[in-house]
Structure 1
Amino acid sequence: MDTNTLSAFIAVAESHSFSLAAQQLFITQSAVSKRIATLEEQLNQKLFDRIGRKVTLTEAGRELLPKAKTIVNAIKDAGRAMGNLSGVVKGPLSLAASHHISLHRLPPILRRFTKEYPEVQLSLRFDESEIAYNSVLHGDLELALITLAPKPDPAIHSKSIWVDQLKYVVAQDHPLASQKTVSLEELTHYSAILPGASTFTQQIVAEQFQKKSLNLNVAISTNYLDTIRMMVSIGLGWSLLPETMIDKSLTVLETGSEPIKRHLGYIHHRDRTLSNAASKLVDMLS
């Protein structure tokens, strides 16, 4: 049993496909099949059920998966720790960033980082904050730049870098646009356009309404803030947007309620040794 074999097992388990696993690992599908067959022989257990094109874990496979991830991540962590001793900044860096941060915060930082550390092989994913959060929590990513969770898992180290002041907004011709003040109760009578219910951003907003025993009236849900801004601007509903995204097509509503702030920053797993590359990127962010 070696890390290549376990990595193949993890890839098949997560993708539910031998062909997709082969693509992820940059090897042939037959090589993946051979590694799985070797692992099943070593453990004397069938790890996958193959019904047509569908690949699912057996009970033994489900039992092995978290242990396999722990082993692979521990070996990678040891490799990073040994590599860090040289002080050289190079090698792979797995990073995810939310769409908003990728568009509005990250470009100048990445430009500087890639110029200063050209030997770093940056693997950058654009994910929703919640997906990136779970990837860090489960050891699949070294770093993530996201909207920070209101109540993070104790295993997650988070650092706020930017703070978005969120404002209630409507289109200029919306019925509420002409009012000097608008209560949260009044907002519940109109359609809201917000990120999904599972997102950290909607959780922050919903908490303010829940404190007043009010329910959100969410008519449209999308996790792309630029899309939300467009839909609000054409009169499809109200929303909350960062001050930096508010333009002349929108009217800010004064609700008299406590200001809503959204913290953006980076996270990593507390038990994971950061590579020199990750540490340098964290230094730039800080």
Structure 2
Amino acid sequence: MDTQSLQAFLAVAESGSFSRAAEQLHLTQPAVSKRIAALEAQIGARLFDRIGRSIGLTEAGRVLLPRARQILVMVDDSRRALGNLSHDVAGSLTLATSHHIGLHRLPPLLKAYTRAHPGVRLDLHFLDSEEAYQGVLDGELEIAVVTLAPHPDPQLEVVPIWVDRLCFVCAPDHPLAALPHPSLQALCAHDAVLPGPHTFTRGLIEARFAAAGLRLPVALSTNYLETLKMMVAIGLGWSLLPERLVAGELHELAIDHPPIHRPLGYLVHRSRTLSNAARAMLAALEQAREPAAKTAAG
């Protein structure tokens, strides 16, 4: 099996479309079809069922899918290992980050990194932390710089770099703003606007309220913290936001409860050979590491 045919197979399987796969691979649709046909001839089985406009994996396709991913990861891993022998910090670095970290934590670090290593082509992806986490597990991403999971997968090396204090906030004219030290129970009498229900940050918040025997009254959810800030500012509810986002238009509530912190950092797959470019990025991240993050890790 050649890697180009496997790449075409993965692109079609993941996109569910020969035309979209062709766009992703910068090929014509007939070229993608030819590669799939060659792969089917090699294994002696059809990989896709084509019914009308829909495309689905056959049983043979479902068996091949995880193995195709593993083969391509191993090929990439071998290329990186061989490339590292030159000790040059160059080539492509696939890095994912969340929107908040990408906007508020990484810019100075990325600026210094790209100046220090002009031979590196940075392939930067803005993803939800949970999606980036899975991307590293699947071998699609070399590094992710995201909100860290409370219980990370043992296949991953997870290193906290920063710690966000999450502030309870509301609009200055919100009824909660008149209370000197509102309790968690008092908050539950008003609508909340919070990150999505399947995010690591939402899990931290829910756990704190559940420990107090309380259920969060969530009216609206979004994974974009800047959007949450806007929702709070116009009075749609109270929320928890990183300290860096709390500005003059928001009122920080002096909650009668210990603060909630969330760790931010990087993760890489323990079984993956990192490129020299990735190693240089991890070194830059380690230099930016806050003392509070080291305490949290230790």
* Shorter-normalised TM range: over 0.9
Q: CA deviation at 1:275?
A: 0.5
Question: How far does the alpha carbon of each residue in 1:192-248 deviate from its partner, in whole angstroms, 9 at most, with x for none?
Answer: 111100111100100101111211111010111111111101111000011111112
Alignment of 1:166-205 (within 5 A): 166-205=166-205
Q: CA deviation at 1:51?
A: 2.0
Instruction: Give the match for residue 220 of structure 2.
Output: 220
Counterpart CA distance in 1 for 2:73 and 2:54 is 27
Bigger drift between 195-204 and 42-51 goes to 42-51
Structure 1 residue ranges (4+ consecutive) displaced by more than 3 angstroms after TM superposition: none
Bigger drift between 253-262 and 119-128 goes to 253-262
Counterpart CA distance in 1 for 2:226 and 2:106 is 16
Question: How far does the alpha carbon of each residue in 1:143-168 deviate from its partner, in whole angstroms, 9 at most, with x for none?
Answer: 11111111111111111111110111
| 1:2 lines up with 2:38 in the alignment | no
Q: CA deviation at 1:126?
A: 0.8
Alignment of 1:1-286 (within 5 A): 1-286=1-286
Q: CA RMSD in A?
A: 1.0
Question: How far does the alpha carbon of each residue in 1:62-111 deviate from its partner, in whole angstroms, 9 at most, with x for none?
Answer: 11100110111011101101111110111111111100011111111111
Counterpart CA distance in 2 for 1:187 and 1:45 is 60
Counterpart CA distance in 1 for 2:104 and 2:191 is 27
Question: How far does the alpha carbon of each residue in 1:133-185 deviate from its partner, in whole angstroms, 9 at most, with x for none?
Answer: 11111111101111111111111111111111011111111111011111111
Structure 2 letter corresponding to 1:57: L
Counterpart CA distance in 2 for 1:164 and 1:157 is 20
SS state at 1:205 partner: helix
Q: CA deviation at 1:113?
A: 1.3
Q: Which runs of 5+ in 1 are unaligned?
A: none
Structure 2 letter corresponding to 1:99: H
SS state at 1:85 partner: helix
Q: Percent same amino acid at aligned positions?
A: 55
SS state at 1:176 partner: helix
State the TM-score, normalizing by the size of structure 1.
0.98
Bigger drift between 252-261 and 100-109 goes to 252-261
Aligned positions, number:
286
Counterpart CA distance in 2 for 1:129 and 1:231 is 21
Structure 1 letter corresponding to 2:105: R
Q: Which runs of 5+ in 2 are unaligned?
A: 287-298
Counterpart CA distance in 2 for 1:120 and 1:29 is 31
SS state at 1:190 partner: coil
